Amino acid sequence: MTPLPDASSPGADARPVLPAAERGATVIPDKVVARIAARAAREALATQADTSAAQVSLAAPHASVTVGSGTARLGLTLDLPYPIDLARASREVQQYVSERVAHLTGMRVTEVTLAIEHLVPSGGQGDRRVQ
């Protein structure tokens, strides 16, 4: 390993040292942003679940991401407990995921789309029969 020249030595390079913000860029792969978004969706669902919905086993959310020039577009596929106010729950998940991804990655989230795969009854998936 070659030591860096000391600025006080006679043969030192006279180039100015650039501030850290100007030296390069941090690149976060799409796959990592997708994992952050899926985790944030799981967190959002956990905060919305009341005691009856907490007993429901929901499938883990899945996320897809398109990243470009410092912005991210997110697509989430998830299950929701039933009964639930779909409009309110959707808005809250979208807002939470958008804020969380922006905070953790430094990217501006321009869009969060949701695809609700299943509404899982809060009584569980047990055998239900009409009497």
Confidence label for 51 from pLDDT (cuts 50, 70 and 90): very low
pLDDT digits (tens, 9 = 90+) for 71-86: 999 999 999 988 889 9
- pLDDT at residue 23, rounded to an integer: 79
Q: Which residues contact 68 (CB under 8 A, 6 or more apart)?
A: none
Alpha helices in 1-131 (DSSP H): 20-23, 30-48, 51-54, 86-105
Looking at the whole model, is its pTM more than 0.85? no
- First-residue to last-residue Cα distance in the chain: 80
